[in-house]
Structure 1
């Protein structure tokens, strides 16, 4: 097959759209344009991400710019492809209207999640790296997509939560403004223990922890005269971006309390039961 035959074959009209002839060459040109456009888009996105990362830009801003760049790039590629194959954009006016109506009735959830994803990325009530509590799940946000948000739960399991659910339901964001969280440790000591001294030892155990914030400072309260113990509670603040940090700190304070109580002969209370017997015991001989 010579050049003339190839040219005639590529010039063969496959279909006509709004009076414009679509040839076989135009159709074969579509995947080439799309492939080149995708390669260039990814290359530019990689360069943009690298420069923003080197400037220590917020990862959430980088993520938003990537999404906007991909949407604009895809629109440019689509318009360019239609222009090169001589297809007028007005030819798709009726089709786009039909698709919009179909989406309105059959893809409400998809559209809702899509719009919610853009709201999350634009307003940033939830950011990458935030520690969230959604219903019974707790975890760190790893990625915010246009349809769903990926969260790594505290046990390592990944969750995909629809974006609309994050906007319509109550979500606890532990790190929305800062990573300061408050927690407490409760301990009971035996009756007869010096209450003031016990309170001072509990305050010492909390204050010695380097991660405990000094302003506001830890507070020790004498909670109650329990059934078997004098109940004390120490409340303190610390910087922690996950629940595991709270558990570790509470554990460290309890370890230190155990050592301080032992040094000062303070006894940690344990459940006791007193039995009172009314009347006299009679022993019968057989």
Structure 2
């Protein structure tokens, strides 16, 4: 087949849109342009991401810029492809209107989640790396996508939470403003224990932990005269991005408290009951039978 025959074959008209002929060459050109555009867009995004990462840019901003660039690139690619094959955009006005109406009725939840995702990216009430508490789930935000947000739960399980749910429901963001987390430990000691000494030992066990912050300073309070114990409460602050850091610190404080109480003969209280009997009780010995 000669070059002239190939050109003639590619110029064969298959159909027409608004008097604009669509040839075989135009049809073959579409996937070629889409593939080239896809790889070019991916390369540009990768280059921009690499440059921003080396400059230690916030990963939330990088994620947002990636999404915006992909949307702009896809729009330009579609318009350019249609223009190169001589297809006017106005030819799709009626079709796009019909699709928009059907899409609006049939994909309300998808649109809701899409808009919610854009709000999350712009307002940034939730960011990549934040530690969230959503209903009964706790985990770290790994990715904010178009429809859903991916969270890695504390037990390693990944959750996909619809973006609209994060805006419409109460969400606890442990790291929204800073990474400071407040914790507390409650302990009860036996009646008769030296309360001043107990308070000092509790404070010592708390400040001995390298995780506890000196500012705000830990606070020890004598909470109550309990049924079986004198109740003490200590509150402290640590800097942590996950709940596990707080749980480990509480555990270390309890370990240290047990050691200090043992050294100073302080008894940790346990439930006790005094039984009072009216009258007398006679105990039969084996000889009496």
Give me the TM-score of the superposition, normalised by structure 2: 0.97
What's the CA shift string for 1:134-161, capped at 9, x where partnerless? 1111000000001100000011000000
Report how far residue 262 of structure 1 moved. 1.0
For 1:170 and 1:238, the matched residues in 2 are separated by 24
Q: Structure 2 matches for 1:190-209, cutoff 5 A?
A: 190-209=190-209
Counterpart position of 2:42? 42
- Tell me what 1:212 maps to: 212
Q: Are 1:240 and 2:240 an aligned pair?
A: yes
Q: C-alpha separation between the residues in 2 aligned to 1:281 and 1:22?
A: 110
Within 5 Å, give how 1:1-286 maps onto structure 2: 1-283=1-283, 285-286=288-289
Partner deviation per Cα, 1:213-268 (whole Å, 9 max, x = no partner): 11221111111111111110001111111111111000010011111111111111
The whole-number CA distance in structure 2 between the counterparts of 1:206 and 1:117 is 42
Q: Within 2, Cα distance between the matches of 1:219 and 1:5?
A: 90
Residue ranges of structure 1 left out of the alignment (5+ in a row): none
Give the C-alpha shift of residue 283 in structure 1: 4.8
Q: CA deviation at 1:273?
A: 1.9
SS state at 1:247 partner? helix
274-283 or 157-166, which deviates more:
274-283
1:15-52 C-alpha deviation (Å, 9 max, x unpaired): 10011000011000000000000000000001000000
Cα distance in 1 for residues equivalent to 2:104 and 2:38: 29
How far apart are the structure 2 equivalents of 1:278 and 1:43?
90
In 2, Cα distance between the equivalents of 1:266 and 1:221? 17
1:71-111: CA deviation from partner (whole Å, max 9, x where unpaired): 11111110110011110111111111111111211111111
Alignment partners' CA distance in 1, 2:225 and 2:258:
21
Q: Deviations over 1:180-209 (max 9, x none)?
A: 111100001111100011001101111121
Following the alignment from structure 1 to structure 2, what is the Cα–Cα distance between the partners of residues 123 and 35? 34
Q: Any idea what SS the aligned residue of 2:231 has?
A: strand
The 3 A distance-change label for structure 1 pair 49 and 99 is: same
Q: CA separation of 1:46/1:218 partners in 2, compared to 1, >3 Å: closer, same or farther?
A: same
SS of 1:138's equivalent in the other structure is: strand
What is the deviation of 1:282?
A: 3.0
- Which consecutive unaligned segments of at least 5 residues does structure 2 have? none
Rounded to whole Å, the distance in 1 between the matches of 2:200 and 2:281 is: 48
- Matched length: 286
Judged with a 3 Å threshold, the aligned counterparts in structure 2 of structure 1 residues 87 and 254 are, in CA distance, closer, same or farther, namely same
SS of the residue 2:175 aligns to = coil
Q: Which is worse superposed, 207-216 or 158-167?
A: 207-216
